[in-house]
């Protein structure tokens, strides 16, 4: 993509704007003669549907734009592919089940829960096979966690490419999981003292497998059967998936059918050929599990332009870290020259999305919007160039760098980079 900044000849200095926080008052016209308030609308003139019309509710037809989308050229076919969460359409920190991005390596397995089993084998005293009913008799827990694919923002490593936070950052979702601690299940089978690793395996056509250190497995990993209060969706691994809080999405094996316990990692495809980070030296980083501190402004953004003209504008975004909670989010309206602390609002759960806002008065001049998150361990989200300085440009995975949105005078927004 060409850089619209050089096209329009804008200089960074001309973009200085003042961030106005404080009063919540707006300047809105009185609209006394607006027919939308003075006239009877069609929906006021007849009775609506009764309670039986929607046994399972769906959003208003006016929200038909809030859907998952894919980028057709990205993958060879839609079976081993990915679609993206419409982050620009969402509020708060919870992703609705029908909008959680999907990443499948062998399509969606349609599993019959009555015939689904979870086997524990390998370095255990007593290999076991659990039914779904067995699993639901362990103590249940509820936790809010984000899941981010390691490849999220991967297409942006070498330059600004995709025009919308749905595509640049939409391989993330955040739901409340209900399930049982993996620790209880492993204890039931009795983990041998030389056990160092586990390997979850999926029941889908790709039979996804990854190696996970036993410390993580016994710490906060869960085996989840519900999300946002209802059974997992088929796309998210119904009836069972492993939850690996804060770690890359690839490890969160869906349609979980087996966990092997071993004394060394398995070095399978997804931790050798894939999900490793190629550096400029030709060497690759391996076992980079934790998702680094990251944030993105979801509005204004290319799919959510400013349509109200000058004046009070609400900037909104998401921040998260695989290492804990979010301590602070800074926002810049001028491409990183000046920073203001944004308002983080709503629940702050560890390894979950956080929502931030910044209200400002837009003077109608171009803006370069950026957000920079800092997590509870003190990690600071880097600029794109700072990340490239240490990781080069060959990587796909673990791009947590600062995103820039260029707001034009007409309120339209584009994906750009600042030097």
Residue 236 as a binder of ligand MTE (CB under 6 A): the answer is yes
Structure-token pair, residue 23 = 């009063």
How far is the first Cα of the chain from the last one, in angstroms, to the nearest whole number? 15
Residue 173 as a binder of Co ion (CB under 5 A): the answer is no
Out of 88, 99, 101, 216, the residue judged to bind ligand MTE by CB under 6 A: 101
Residue 149 as a binder of Co ion (CB under 5 A): the answer is yes
Q: Which residues pair with 312 in a beta bridge?
A: 361
Minimum CB separation of residue 75 from ligand MTE in Å reads 12
Complex with ligand MTE: residue 103 or 372, whichever CB lies closer: 103
Give the Cα-Cα-Cα angle 170, 374, 157 (nearest 5 degrees): 45
Residue 68 as a binder of Co ion (CB under 5 A): the answer is no
Residue 143 as a binder of Co ion (CB under 5 A): the answer is no
For residue 177, the partner it binds in Co ion, ligand MTE, none, with Cβ less than 5 to 8 A by kind, is none
Residue 291: which of 176, 381, 199 has the closest Cα? 381
Find the helix or strand (DSSP H, E) in which 187 lies.
helix 182-189
Out of 170, 200, 249, 324, the residue judged to bind Co ion by CB under 5 A: 249
Residue 223 as a binder of ligand MTE (CB under 6 A): the answer is no
| Spatial distance between the Cα atoms of 277 and 286, rounded to a whole number of angstroms | 7
Identify the DSSP state of 79: S
Residue 86 as a binder of ligand MTE (CB under 6 A): the answer is no
Residue 146 as a binder of ligand MTE (CB under 6 A): the answer is no
291-307 burial, b for 16+ CB within 10 Å, e for fewer? Answer: bbbbbbbbbbbbbbbbe
Residue 153 as a binder of ligand MTE (CB under 6 A): the answer is no
Chain positions 86 to 115 lying near Co ion, rule: CB under 5 A, are 103
Out of 130, 145, 238, 252, the residue judged to bind ligand MTE by CB under 6 A: 252
Site size toward ligand MTE (CB under 6 A) is 21
201-to-69, 142, 181, 271 alpha-carbon distances in Å: 27, 23, 17, 14
Complex with ligand MTE: residue 15 or 147, whichever CB lies closer: 147
Q: Beta strands 367-375 and 354-362: pairing type? A: unpaired
> What distance lies between CA 292 and its chain's CA centroid?
12
| Spatial distance between the Cα atoms of 234 and 255, rounded to a whole number of angstroms | 8
Residue 177: which of 218, 253, 232 has the closest Cα? 232
Residue 258 as a binder of ligand MTE (CB under 6 A): the answer is no
Chain positions 197 to 216 lying near ligand MTE, rule: CB under 6 A, are 202, 204, 206, 208
Out of 68, 89, 105, 372, the residue judged to bind ligand MTE by CB under 6 A: 105
Which spans of this chain sit near ligand MTE (rule: CB under 6 A)? 100-105, 147, 149, 173, 202, 204, 206, 208, 235-236, 249-250, 252-255
């Amino acid at each position: 993509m060409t850089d619209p900044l050089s096209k329009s000849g804008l200089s960074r200095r001309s973009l200085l704007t003042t961030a106005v926080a404080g009063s919540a008052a707006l300047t809105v016209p009185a609209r006394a003669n607006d027919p939308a308030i003075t006239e009877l609308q069609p929906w006021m003139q007849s009775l609506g549907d009764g309670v039986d019309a929607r046994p399972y509710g769906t959003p208003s037809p006016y929200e038909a734009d809030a859907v998952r989308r894919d980028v057709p050229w990205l993958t060879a076919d839609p079976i081993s592919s990915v679609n993206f969460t419409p982050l620009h359409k969402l509020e708060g920190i919870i992703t609705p089940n029908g909008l959680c991005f999907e990443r499948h390596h062998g399509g969606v397995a349609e599993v019959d829960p009555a015939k689904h089993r979870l086997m524990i084998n390998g370095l255990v005293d007593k290999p076991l096979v659990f039914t779904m009913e067995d699993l639901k008799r362990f103590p249940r827990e509820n936790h809010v966690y984000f899941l981010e694919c390691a490849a999220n923002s991967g297409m942006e490593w070498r330059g600004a490419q995709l025009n919308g936070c749905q595509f640049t950052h939409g391989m993330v979702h955040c739901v409340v999981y209900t399930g049982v601690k993996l620790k209880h299940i492993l204890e039931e089978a009795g983990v041998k003292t030389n056990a160092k690793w586990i390997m979850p395996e999926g029941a889908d056509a790709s039979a996804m497998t990854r190696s996970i250190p036993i410390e993580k497995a016994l710490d906060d990993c869960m085996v989840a059967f519900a999300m946002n209060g209802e059974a997992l969706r088929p796309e998210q691994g119904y009836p069972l998936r492993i939850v690996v809080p804060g770690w890359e999405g690839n490890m969160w094996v869906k349609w979980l059918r087996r966990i092997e316990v071993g004394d060394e990692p398995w070095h399978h495809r997804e931790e050798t050929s894939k999900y490793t980070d190629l550096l400029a030296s030709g060497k690759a980083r391996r076992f980079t599990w934790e998702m680094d501190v990251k944030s993105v402004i979801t509005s204004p953004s290319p799919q959510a332009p400013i349509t109200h003209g000058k004046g009070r504008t609400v900037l909104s975004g998401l921040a998260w870290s695989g290492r804990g909670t979010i301590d602070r989010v800074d926002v810049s309206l001028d491409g990183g020259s000046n920073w203001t602390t944004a308002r983080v609002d709503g629940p702050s759960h560890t390894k979950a999305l956080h929502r931030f806002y910044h209200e400002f008065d837009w003077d109608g001049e171009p803006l370069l919007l950026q957000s920079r998150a800092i997590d509870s361990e003190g990690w600071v989200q880097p600029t794109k160039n700072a990340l490239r300085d240490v990781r080069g440009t060959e990587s796909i995975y673990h791009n947590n760098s600062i995103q820039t949105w260029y707001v034009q005078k007409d309120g339209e927004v584009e994906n750009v980079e600042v030097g």
